[in-house]
Amino acid sequence: MRKKTKIDLIDVPWPVNLLKCHRYTGEMQPGDEMVIIVKGEDVKDSLLLILHAMPELSFGVSAIGSGYAIDITKNRSRISTKESDFTGGK
C-alpha cells in the first residue's frame, strides 16, 4: 500500500533535520511518497547529498516561499537476488 507523508523540517535545527530526513527515508517502502519541507539552500543541498547516496529513491526539488519542497518516491530495489541476473540467464 502506498503511503504519502509530508514532513516539515523548517524549524528543526541542523544537523537534526538531516538525521530526521535520513531516518524517515530509511523507513519508506517501495511506492511510498514523501514531501520534506526545509528552509535554506544550505539545508536543501545537504539533504540532496544524502538522497543522491540512496539509489532506490527518486526526487525533485521546488522552491516554495522562503524554503524548498523535496518530493521523494521510493522505487523498487535495484539490487537483484535472482541467480539468472548473475549468470546471464543460464
**Domain residue limits, the chain:** 17-68
Report d(CA 34, CA 32) in Å as an integer.
7
Contact call for residues 10 and 64 (beta carbons, < 8 A): no
pTM of the model: 0.79
HSE-CB at 35 with a 13 A cutoff on CA atoms is 10
The whole-number average pLDDT for the span 28-54 is 93
CA–CA dist 53, 50 (Å, integer): 5
Beta bridge partners of 70: 36, 61
- Give every CB contact of residue 42 below 8 A, 6+ residues apart in sequence: none
Looking at residue 5, its pLDDT comes to: 93
- pLDDT recorded at residue 89: 53
- The answer, yes or no, to whether residue 84 has pLDDT greater than 50, is no
Instruction: Grade residue 61 by pLDDT with cuts at 50, 70 and 90.
Output: very high
What's the pLDDT tens digit per position in 15-39? 898 899 889 998 999 999 999 999 9
> 2: which 3 cell numbers?
502506498
pLDDT of residue 2: 81
Grid cell locating 79: 539490487
